[in-house]
């Protein structure tokens, strides 16, 4: 039997399973590769639906720079398929390369490459979905520009599976330019590195990625040197442009060249840490970093600062000597303290008790009605947004 | 014609002042059509609030009376989306204030009636720009751009309206106000901002728009390449895209378009004997731009370009672009009416679809002028014709239908930037299943359960059937 045939059968089975669960008011947990199951709030569920069996390419015409794959296809597999044609899906969400594209879209998780290539939302063109009634729908398309009908692709992206199971996706690819170089600037003071990004001004946005790592994170990805903060910049383009970007940095600080593999190490650096993001207007990034540092002073916290977005991503590894309960309590109180100081706190992966500190997400009436339209019995990933009616 | 209660009219007049409530037929003429020829529909009333607060109060008054309305910006839409037959036009073009330019955080907060090009001019002193640049940018409004998720030539590199709006203050059709998205930080939960943008006025009214501004490029180079065939120009597009260079714009014009432009006051110096030209622009850091230009020139020559010209002065660039942006106006010389069509195909299908379009046009005896965003496969096959001639109108309509179906068959879509409106309604069921369409209806109902905002547009539902029969009566 062909792969396509098997996939069609697996999709049919999945739809039947959801239909049955809908009829029985039975709650379901949607699972991709299962590598990030603790993302989002704890889900109450009777059963699981997995898209792991749904993998592989549905359609790939390299000249179109568009790839259609089944949702269970891993990011590693996509990287391999596209590299053969000198292309890539410019997405580097935190986590392992075994993460599925379906989960990446459902959680709308982007990484450093968002600076130059856009976020998940900018790269998804269309998808097929089994909604909470078991009905199959396709939204969007396979072309890079599309305004036919209401944009349900945007709704599915970042919906954490609450609107249905994504079974197939079409994403926008980029051709890989001639040069992809990584530069490193180290300094004892984070303020000095933020001052450099401020002085780069609009040129900051010409980089493919630009992040500032605290000493703990720099250490974890293998570029730590004596407790220094590290600015990591990635320049992607033709050799002359890449060289010019290097020079713009070199005019402000000592620059070292680094291997592009560094970004993979950064992607995989979370381990089992609790993770969240805080954000504020980019111009306030200095203050945001200070508040975050103050709040998490007592943990071996890893911080990744994205200056142009005004975001600090926080990863708190579980300190071994500390019992899990004490660790959770400390984290919750730290978070509470931080919440009153920064603009916005978004949890990624936190112990269930810590989630209670953060306000629930889907609370406005429009979102509730949308949920009802897709999943009237609220069987899909119930509770992942901390919904009131869970 | 609908007549509204004296109480409703009095309450609208109380909110906006009597002179901003238009009821006489002669006053309503400017609002009986938009940029889509062949359609004319007289509204019952047009109301023009002058402040954001007045917008909210007007929407509440309409909600209390259970009256349907159509939000309208400059009326330059090309899909009939702002037609309001027998209902209320809610005009937003008096709301023209740019309330905040936060250059440090690269955001601006503007009212919906701000003209697209005016915003770019206002932020230029900060070396910033508002990137989406529809051809109508000198008149179209940001609010209209949000409703249609408007694009433009430079969206190839910079993205469409959706990629440039970070938050919206909206009033729902029931009069409640909401903020979607977040002007600075990130958001979680459903992407209501994303689904609102491009909802063609069916989800409510944007009263304030938070724009993400992008830096003006350090340098810009514009390349004009001249091809002996449409096919070779299309091959050059594929070659350029495959290099990894993302041009700021990559536009194609075919011979009928070139001739129309060159015969008009917008003459740009295009070679009138070329079968097709490509207008390609690269921008960014000055360093490396020369290499990109050389690579693009090589791609064009390898695909059979007869000549490649690089604009060296700002005047020359402006002239080349004026020809492109005013091409639709130039076609006005050919015939009294012009259908500006909009469809998208996968980039590799361009040569084939252009051949198909030409064959369809010949068969129906109509003249197609192609001027389009080749870099992202976004076609604009335009047909100049006389809408007063019923036979010609019927042939144009038949040709357009076939072209749409051919684009769908090629794996494309029926609109890349103009919206569905009324014009594309019949094709929605060819593109989406009944299940997908009814889910779209359900999402509309989440915003507007009574379906009073721009009723009968975008999704063909039972309640909008009457719109299909709207006669082509313009010209």
ipTM of the complex: 0.95
Average pLDDT value for residue range A71-80: 97
Token code pair at residue A62: 């390299």
**Amino acid A299: pLDDT:** 74
pLDDT of residue B475: 28
pLDDT at A285: 92
Dihedral (CA of B229, B232, B234, B237) sign = negative
Residues in chain A with CB shorter than 8 Å from the CB of B214 are 205
Residues in CB range of A315: below 8 A, 6 or more apart: A217, A269, A270, A273, A274, A275, A301, A302, A303, A304
Which of A108, A143, A362 lies closest to B346 in CB terms? A143
Q: Report the alpha-carbon distance of residue B63 to residue B16 in Å, rounded.
A: 16
> Which residues lie closer than 8 Å to A205 by C-beta, 6 or more apart?
A115, A308, B214, B215
Residue A330: the pLDDT is 81
Residue B289: its H or E element: helix B289-302
Tell me how close the Cα of B316 comes to any Cα of chain A, in angstroms.
25
If one compares A311 and A334, the residue with the highest pLDDT of the two is A311
pLDDT of residue A2: 79
pLDDT at A354: 85
Residue B190: which of A141, A282, A367 has the nearest Cβ? A367
Are A101 and A75 within 8 A, CB to CB? yes
Closest CB to B241 among A65, A176, A240:
A65
Percentage of chain A exceeding pLDDT 90: 69
Pick the residue from chain B with its C-alpha nearest to A284: B105
Q: For residue A255, give Cα distances in angstroms to A230, A307, B68, B363.
A: 11, 18, 62, 64
Averaged confidence pLDDT in chain A: 91
Nearest to B12 by CA among B49, B41, B37, B42: B49
The per-residue pLDDT for range A166-196, each reduced to its tens digit, is 999 999 999 998 899 999 999 999 999 999 9
Query: b/e map of A252-281 (b: 16 or more CB within 10 Å)?
Result: bbebeebeeebbeebbebbeebbbbbbbbb
- A118 neighbourhood in chain B, CB within 8 Å: 159, 163
pLDDT tops 90 at residue A321: no
pLDDT reported for residue A296? 85
Q: Do B105 and A244 touch (CB under 8 A)?
A: no
pLDDT exceeds cutoff 90 at A363? no
Residue A282 has pLDDT above 70, yes or no: yes
Among all residues of chain A, which has the CA nearest to that of B290?
A240
Q: What is residue A320's predicted lDDT score, i.e. its pLDDT?
A: 67
**What pLDDT is recorded for position A362?**
58
Contacts of B442 in chain A (CB under 8 A): 370, 373-374
Residue A240: its chain B contacts at CB < 8 A?
A: 287-288, 290-291
Q: Would you call B373 and A135 a contact, using CB atoms and an 8 Å cutoff?
A: no
Task: Output the pLDDT for position B463.
Answer: 34
Residue A87 and residue A212: Cα distance in Å, rounded?
A: 27
Average pLDDT along chain B, 475 residues, taken 10 residues at a time: 87 98 95 88 97 98 98 94 96 98 96 97 97 94 97 92 96 97 85 97 98 94 97 94 92 96 94 97 93 97 97 91 90 88 94 95 96 94 92 95 96 95 94 94 96 94 39 33
CA distance A298 to A329: 13
Count how many residues are written for chain A.
390
- CA angle B235/B241/B246 to nearest 5° reads 145
Q: Please state the rounded mean pLDDT for residues A67-88.
A: 97
Nearest to A154 among B195, B419, B428 (CB): B195
Burial class (CB in 10 A: 0-12, 13-18, 19+), B76: buried
Using an 8 Å CB-CB cutoff, list chain A residues near B186: 277, 279, 309, 311, 344, 346
pLDDT value of residue A100: 95
pLDDT digits (tens, 9 = 90+) for A203-261: 889 999 999 999 999 999 999 878 999 999 999 999 999 999 999 999 999 999 999 99
Question: What are the CA-CA distances from residue A377 to residues A23, A24, A390, B146, B439 (Å)?
Answer: 9, 9, 10, 33, 16
Chain B residues with CB under 8 Å of A362 CB are 189-190
Query: Average pLDDT, stretch A2-28?
Result: 94
pTM of the model: 0.95
């Amino acid at each position: 039997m062909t792969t396509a045939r098997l996939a069609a059968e697996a999709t049919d089975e999945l739809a039947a399973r959801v239909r049955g669960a809908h009829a029985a008011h039975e709650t379901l947990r949607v699972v991709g590769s299962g590598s990030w199951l603790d993302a989002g709030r704890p889900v109450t569920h009777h059963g699981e639906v997995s898209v792991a069996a749904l993998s592989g390419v549905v359609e790939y015409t390299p000249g179109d720079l568009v790839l259609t794959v089944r949702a269970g296809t891993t990011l590693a597999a996509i990287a391999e398929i596209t590299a053969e044609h000198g292309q890539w899906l410019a997405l580097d969400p935190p986590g392992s390369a075994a993460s599925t594209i379906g989960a990446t879209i459902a959680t709308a998780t982007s990484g450093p490459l968002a600076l130059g290539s856009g976020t998940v939302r900018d790269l998804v063109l269309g998808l097929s979905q089994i909604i909470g009634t078991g009905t199959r729908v396709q939204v969007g398309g396979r072309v890079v520009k599309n305004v036919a009908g209401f944009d349900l692709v945007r709704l599915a992206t970042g919906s954490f599976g609450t609107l249905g199971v994504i079974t197939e996706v079409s994403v926008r690819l980029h051709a890989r330019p001639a040069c992809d170089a990584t530069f490193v600037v180290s300094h004892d003071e984070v303020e000095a590195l933020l001052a450099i990004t401020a002085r780069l001004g609009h040129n900051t946005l010409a980089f493919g990625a630009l992040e500032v790592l605290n000493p703990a994170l720099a250490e974890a990805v293998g570029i730590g040197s004596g407790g220094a903060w590290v600015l990591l910049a990635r320049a992607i383009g033709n050799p002359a442009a890449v060289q010019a970007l290097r020079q713009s940095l070199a005019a402000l600080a000592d620059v070292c060249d680094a291997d592009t593999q560094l970004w993979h190490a950064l992607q995989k650096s979370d381990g089992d840490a609790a993770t969240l993001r805080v954000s504020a207007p980019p111009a306030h990034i200095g203050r945001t970093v200070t508040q975050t540092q103050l709040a998490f002073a007592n943990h071996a916290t890893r911080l990744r600062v994205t200056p142009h977005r005004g975001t600090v991503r926080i990863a708190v590894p579980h300190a071994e000597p500390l019992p899990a309960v004490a660790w959770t309590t400390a984290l919750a109180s730290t978070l509470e303290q931080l919440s009153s100081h920064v603009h916005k706190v978004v949890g990624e992966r936190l112990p269930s008790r810590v989630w209670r500190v953060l306000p629930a997400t889907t609370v406005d009436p429009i979102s509730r009605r949308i949920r009802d339209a897709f999943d009237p019995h609220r069987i899909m990933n119930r509770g992942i947004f901390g919904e009131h009616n869970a | 014609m609908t007549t509204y209660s004296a109480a409703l009219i009095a309450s609208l007049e109380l909110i906006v002042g009597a002179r901003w409530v238009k009821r006489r037929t002669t006053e309503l003429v400017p609002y009986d059509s938009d940029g889509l020829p062949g359609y004319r529909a007289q509204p019952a009333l047009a109301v023009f609030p002058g402040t954001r607060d007045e917008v909210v109060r007007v929407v509440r008054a309409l909600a209390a009376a259970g009256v349907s309305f159509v939000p309208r910006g400059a009326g330059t839409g090309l899909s009939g989306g702002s037609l309001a037959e027998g209902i209320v036009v809610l005009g937003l073009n008096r709301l023209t204030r740019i309330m905040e330019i936060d250059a440090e955080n690269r955001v601006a907060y503007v009212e919906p009636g701000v003209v697209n090009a005016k915003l770019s001019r206002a932020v230029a002193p900060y070396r910033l720009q508002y990137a989406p640049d529809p051809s109508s940018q000198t008149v179209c409004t940001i609010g209209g751009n949000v409703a249609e998720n408007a694009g433009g030539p430079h969206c190839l590199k910079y993205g469409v309206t959706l990629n440039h709006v970070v938050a919206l203050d909206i009033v729902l059709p029931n009069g409640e106000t909401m903020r979607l998205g977040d002007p600075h930080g990130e958001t979680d939960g459903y992407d209501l901002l994303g689904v609102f943008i491009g909802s063609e006025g069916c989800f409510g009214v944007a009263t304030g728009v938070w724009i993400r501004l992008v830096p003006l490029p350090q340098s810009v180079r514009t390349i004009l390449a001249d091809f002996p065939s449409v096919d070779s120009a299309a091959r050059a597009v594929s070659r350029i895209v495959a290099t990894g260079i993302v041009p700021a714009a990559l536009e194609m014009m075919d011979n009928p378009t070139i001739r129309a432009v060159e015969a008009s006051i917008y003459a740009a110096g295009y070679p009138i004997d070329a079968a097709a030209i490509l207008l390609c622009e690269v921008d960014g850091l000055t360093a490396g731009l020369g290499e990109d230009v050389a690579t693009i020139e090589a791609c064009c020559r390898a695909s059979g370009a007869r000549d490649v010209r690089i604009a060296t002065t700002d005047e020359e660039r402006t002239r080349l672009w004026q020809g492109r942006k005013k091409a639709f106006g130039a076609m006005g010389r050919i015939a009294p009416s012009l259908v500006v069509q909009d469809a998208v195909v996968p980039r590799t299908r361009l040569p084939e679809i252009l051949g198909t379009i030409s064959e369809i046009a010949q068969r129906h005896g109509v003249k197609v002028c192609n001027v389009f965003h080749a870099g992202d496969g976004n076609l604009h096959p335009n047909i100049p014709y006389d809408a007063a001639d019923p036979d010609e109108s019927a042939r144009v309509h038949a040709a357009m239908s076939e072209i749409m179906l051919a684009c769908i068959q090629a794996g494309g879509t029926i609109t890349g930037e103009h919206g569905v409106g009324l014009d594309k309604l019949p094709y929605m069921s060819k593109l989406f299943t009944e299940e997908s369409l009814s889910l779209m209806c359900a999402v509309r109902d989440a915003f507007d359960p009574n379906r009073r905002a721009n009723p009968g547009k975008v999704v063909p539902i039972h309640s909008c059937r009457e719109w299909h029969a709207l006669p082509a009566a313009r010209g």
